Amino acid sequence: MEIGLFPLGIVLFPVEQIPLHIFEPRYRELIADCRRDEAPFGLVFADDDGMRQIGTFAHVVDVEELDDGRLNIIVEGRDRFRIVEESEGRAFTTAEVEAAPDTDDPAPTELAEQALTLFDRLVTLTETDVERPATGHPQLSYAIGGHFDLASDLKQGLLEELSERVRLEAIHTILEGSHEAITARREIASRAQRNGKH
């Protein structure tokens, strides 16, 4: 299928929702098409090294129209796609794409429970108000990872990984490291405040 592409310096996970501010006329045209046809566009990570070949179908779920034509929208990631060939003819980039489904390599229940335990600890530690993903979520790695501010390169690597087991193992390692780092920083800050005091 052919879709319009929106290259950005961010990565959208399947099941994740993110806000976008649309101001360029070509992308306002893209969003208008998507709303009219009730169709997704492709959000792909792009930086100085170019546009990646694996992206995410983005569905517009909420729109705020500003007086000057700009838009504030919320998009939700659905399935992944792979760019087969870029095409021409529109003001925005278009491409022929194909689905990029997961391989049959689900995460073990024990790993899912461990990852969610770490998720709960981090949420408590950071006093963040987020909804806990379900243990049986088929893409739990994305459901968890979308709640944290991961570096774009790391996030793109997780997007391109087609094994849920491998992704969730990586998410588990990331959460474990984050918990240890936050705990260590708070302990250092606490010691600094007590320095010189009895």
Note the pLDDT tens digit of each residue in 77-100: 999 999 999 998 999 999 999 999
Q: What ranges in the chain are assigned the alpha helix state H?
A: 25-37, 109-126, 140-145, 152-160, 164-194
Alpha helices by DSSP H, 5-151 = 25-37, 109-126, 140-145
Looking at the structure, give the CATH architecture of the domain made up of residues 2-99.
Roll (2.30)
pTM of the shown model: 0.87
Domain ranges of the chain: 2-99, 109-194
Per-residue pLDDT tens for 25-69?
999 999 999 999 999 999 999 999 999 999 999 999 999 999 999
Rg, C-alpha atoms of the chain: 20
